[in-house]
Amino acid sequence: MLTPILAIVAALAVAAGVVAVAAPNPRHATLGAFTAVLLAAFVVDPMPDAPAIVARVAGAGVGGWLVWTAGREAPGATTRSSLGWPGAAGVAVAAFAIGWLAASAFGGTVATGVGDGVVANVPGATLADGSLVARAGIAAAVSLAVLAAPSVVLPRDGLRLGLGVVLLIAAASLLSDALGASPDDVLDLAFAVLVALTGAAVAAVTAAMLRAGGDLVLRDVLAREPAVRHRAADDAHREGAR
């Protein structure tokens, strides 16, 4: 009965990921990233025990609150994805479709390998059974990973780099739940702690950057140094010419 709802939750997690990379306001981006992590915790069938859900919610809440608080002095607009809203949404939809097709193909492979009687504890068994939730989870994981990749691989903003890592954690959580053979309370607790610690690290970096430079732009000091030396050499040449 909850299957269609959980699939919609997976799509909403992707929408939150789009906000995390496309919103110019850093606090809106923070809200999007940690909302994606929070929603990812519910894209699993069967649902985990209440303590596992509480842990996931608490981890996302603590991490998000720390980053939100650290970004109070951030500029109103920071470096966002160069794709903008339409581009980020288009990439997310395309990646979601690719992930869905890949999950369907993988499920067919698992079903063929296991045989007619799917073993309950085989990783990917839910995909082999045609679970809509598992397919939606993998599709959302691929979409979030694609959205996060530019911020992590080619970072231009300290906060966006950290939020990209948060989105990758959400993607890992979705993959784990979709491919897991059975609910694992220890793994759920580990994800909750990881999200909270990541939020603390991102908050610390954000606060330090704002204190040091007043913004969140990652500057390449080594790339600027030759220009400084060049100006100094020009000044010395002019002094000698006089």
Number of residues assigned to the chain: 242
CA distance 166 to 125: 27
Question: Are the C-beta atoms of 40 and 173 separated by less than 8 Å?
Answer: yes
Mean pLDDT check: name the lowest of 56-65, 112-121, 135-144, 192-201: 112-121
Angle between helices 132-153 and 158-179 (to 10 degrees): 160
CA distance 23 to 219: 21
Give me the pLDDT at residue 182, please.
63
- What pTM was estimated for this model as a whole? 0.84
Torsion over CA: 198, 200, 204, 210 (sign): positive
Per-residue pLDDT, averaged over 123-142, amounts to 82
| pLDDT score, position 228 | 46
More confident residue, 175 or 234: 175
- Banded pLDDT at 126 (limits 50, 70, 90): confident
Cβ atoms of 127 and 1 within 8 Å: the answer is: no
Which phi and psi (to 5°) does residue 75 adopt?
A: -60, 160
The per-residue pLDDT for range 3-44, each reduced to its tens digit, is 789 999 999 999 999 999 999 999 999 999 999 999 999 998
Count of CA atoms in the C-beta half-sphere (13 A) of 39: 27
The pLDDT of residue 103 is above 50: yes
Rg (CA), the chain: 22
User: Distance (Å, rounded) from C-alpha 105 to C-alpha 168?
Assistant: 23
What's the confidence (pLDDT) of residue 54? 92
DSSP characters over 41-76: TT--SS---HHHHHHHHHHHHHHHHHHHHHGGGS-S
Say which residue, 215 or 198, is predicted with more confidence: 198
What is the per-residue pLDDT for 46? 78
Please, which residues bridge with residue 41 across strands? none
Tens-place pLDDT, residues 67-99: 999 988 888 777 777 788 899 999 999 999 999
CA distance between the termini of the chain: 86
pLDDT of residue 139 exceeding 70: yes
